[in-house]
Amino acid sequence: MIVPAEVVEYDPRWPLWFAEIRGRLGPFLAGLPHRIEHVGSTAVPGLVAKPIIDVDIVVPSADLVPTAIARLAAAGYLHEGDQGIAGREAFALPPDAVHYHHLYVVVDGNKAYRDHVLLRDHLRADAADRERYAARKRELAHLLSTDRGAYVSGKGALVEELIARSGGSPTSGTGDRSGA
């Protein structure tokens, strides 16, 4: 599956795509305490985004993370570690993925999870900040096809500011912890 390399206007199908992804994950996680949340820019109505659905599988404790990783491997996902963001385990897509998405396992209440939710909920509630973020994404969109890292870095300071303004704590890194 080709990684989308563009920023597009909000698509009302994105929540439906998330529901399809959640439905496919459910059987593999049966019996494991968890919830599946739509995070990132596609979870914010009206926000421009890369057409990539960001999904957090939220488990109640760190001791359940290895089980979640094993279950996702059985579903065809490839565990890629934390990719430099502590508390967020990332996965490559299985060959039969229905929609391009980023999948993470996080522990309820940890910083990685809080940051995802704080940013999502802040952007849902604050139209001015949603537009600021959209403007930054549009400004940087040309980098998606040539330097994805520069795109992420270019959003980093604003993401950190928005997370801090919404009650999160800043970090020393410039990575895009939002997945957005």
Within-domain flag for 20:
yes
Calculate mean pLDDT across residues 20-43: 97
pTM greater than 0.85? yes
Would residue 90 count as lying in a domain? yes
Domain-embedded: residue 4: no
- The reply to whether 172 falls in a domain is no
147 occurs within a structural domain: yes
Domain assignment present for residue 42? The answer is yes
pLDDT, tens digit, 9 for 90 and up, residues 108-141:
999 999 999 999 999 999 999 999 999 999 999 9
Q: Is residue 61 part of a domain?
A: yes
Quick: pLDDT tens for 58-84.
Answer: 999 999 999 999 999 999 999 999 999
Per the structure, the count of domains in the chain is 1
Asked if residue 66 lies in contact with residue 59, where contact means CB atoms within 8 angstroms, the answer is: no
> CATH number of the domain that 155 lies in?
3.30.460.10
Confidence band, pLDDT 50/70/90 cuts, at residue 168: confident
Q: Is residue 174 in some structural domain?
A: no
What does the CA dihedral 78, 101, 163, 131 come to, rounded to 10 degrees? 160
Q: Print the domain residue range for 93.
A: 14-165
Q: How sure is the predictor about 170, in pLDDT bands with cuts at 50, 70 and 90?
A: low
Banded pLDDT at 155 (limits 50, 70, 90): very high
Band (172; pLDDT cuts 50, 70, 90): very low
Would you place residue 2 in the very low, low, confident or very high pLDDT band (cuts 50, 70, 90)?
confident
